[in-house]
Amino acid sequence: MSGSWVDRRVVVTGLGLVSPLGSDLNAFWDRLISGDCGIRSITHFDTSDYACKIAGEALEFDPTPAFPSPKESRRTDRFTQFAVHAGYLALKDSGMDLDQLDRDRIGAFIGSGIGGLSTTEAQHKVLLNKGPSRVSPFMIPMLILNMGSGLFSIYQGLKGPNVATCSACATSSHALGEAWRTIKMGDADAIFAGGSEAAIVPLGISGFASMRALSLRNDDPKTSSRPFDKDRDGFVMGEGGAVLVLEELEHAKKRGAKIYCEIAGYGNTADASHLTAPSPEGEGAARCMKMALRSAGLSPEELDYINAHGTSTPQGDICETKAIKSVFGDRAKKLAVSSTKGAVGHMLGAAGSVEMLICAKAIETQVAPPTINYTTPDPECDLDYVPNEAREMPIKVALSNSFGFGGHNASVIARKFEG
């Protein structure tokens, strides 16, 4: 370790994901910027009796390569499989040889907003139908939401800081921000940071539908999620996970790592307002973005691109638009602001890490991904949402927003690496 915490720079050196657009990083990016959509009719269970019948399922997924054995993978919930696999892919992408590094200084911050909902659902049925003696001894380790982070560290022998964040849809952005802070403070040299979610199960779909939070555009799944569009009617659930390798700059340079971008700033605030709705006028989100800019030492004029939380909910998209205008003033109309949830759905606790991965690729390729399904402008959402087609443009600084039930806000800023 060298230098004070303010001198320690943190870069992104590995990316891994599982998503409704696949798990191959380059193929995912190509599909995303081409305007492809991974939302379809649900296949995980029979939706005949359900109001919502659509979601972004990760159908092209095989967990076994990331686990010591197929038996080990079967003893984990799907959300843990996503987390472990995304971490495994990020490790491969980073080129790290863990045997040549100090595992005591490498950690994992991988969270989940809900955890093992399918395990909870299945084992509750066992309890009711067969009695308490038949409940699986693996039930608790399968459903607790820290197991993605815990098992990944076990499989890879990582003995550094290990945390599982849980802040609803802000979960994995908080994981990234707190990992950044931990490396800055000198308590680790590298951290695998992100989140995962697997809530496309009967209980998850029925619960969100009962809140009237989900889109019911069942007859046309690919256009069901339409962030910032006037005709949006709710979010569409997605599943999967993403893990980014955050690494102290000198540590990365020493091993000759590829650097995607630098993590420059982080904001973390609370609305302290409402159980599920954003604070009026997006006040909490605005404070969060201002905090991220301040910690990065950047002015609003230096930002180029925002990957918005943009869930496709009527009130949420308006509040985020107002927050952006509050923070950036005249600059707001000149920013490229897109939501990629139209392509993959809302991945809940995994959303922030997937979207920061997208920011990293946007900076690498100098391409802003589109907001698909944007057909009817909303007078209350009047920014440049990169409608329907990706845009080649200079992207030096990008910001990713995540906002969760309970009033949790997180903003993470990445910038193009300049040595």
In degrees and rounded to multiples of 5, residue 77 shows phi and psi of -75, 160
Would residue 169 show up in a list of annotated catalytic residues for this protein? yes
Of 15, 2, 92, nearest in space to 263 by CA: 15
Cα separation, 299 vs 264, whole angstroms: 12
| Long-range contacts from 65-70, C-beta under 8 angstroms, 24+ separation | 66/155, 67/155, 68/155
- Tokens 């076994």 found at: 64
Position 214: which residue type?
Answer: L
Looking at residue 332, what DSSP letter applies? G
Three-state DSSP at 356 gives: helix
28 in Cβ contact with 46 (< 8 Å): no
* Choice among 166, 169, 261, 359 that is catalytic: 169
Of 306, 310, 409, nearest in space to 356 by CA: 306
- Tokens 């091993």 found at: 255
Would residue 44 show up in a list of annotated catalytic residues for this protein? no
* Choice among 37, 346, 359, 408 that is catalytic: 346
Looking at residue 54, what DSSP letter applies? E
260 in Cβ contact with 10 (< 8 Å): no
* Choice among 85, 174, 309, 408 that is catalytic: 309
Cα separation, 289 vs 269, whole angstroms: 9
For residue 284, give both structure tokens: 């909490």
Distance of CA 24 to the CA centre of its chain: 16
Cα separation, 277 vs 316, whole angstroms: 7
Would residue 52 show up in a list of annotated catalytic residues for this protein? no
CB atoms within 10 A of CB 216: 15
Torsion of CA 135, 138, 139, 144, to 10 degrees: 170
CA angle at residue 171 from 14 to 258, to 5 degrees? Answer: 10
For residue 92, give both structure tokens: 């491969």
For residue 34, give both structure tokens: 């081409």
Of 282, 285, 412, 295, nearest in space to 360 by CA: 412
Burial class (CB within 10 angstroms; exposed 0-12, middle 13-18, buried 19+) of 19: buried
Cα separation, 62 vs 82, whole angstroms: 9
Active site residues: 169, 309, 346
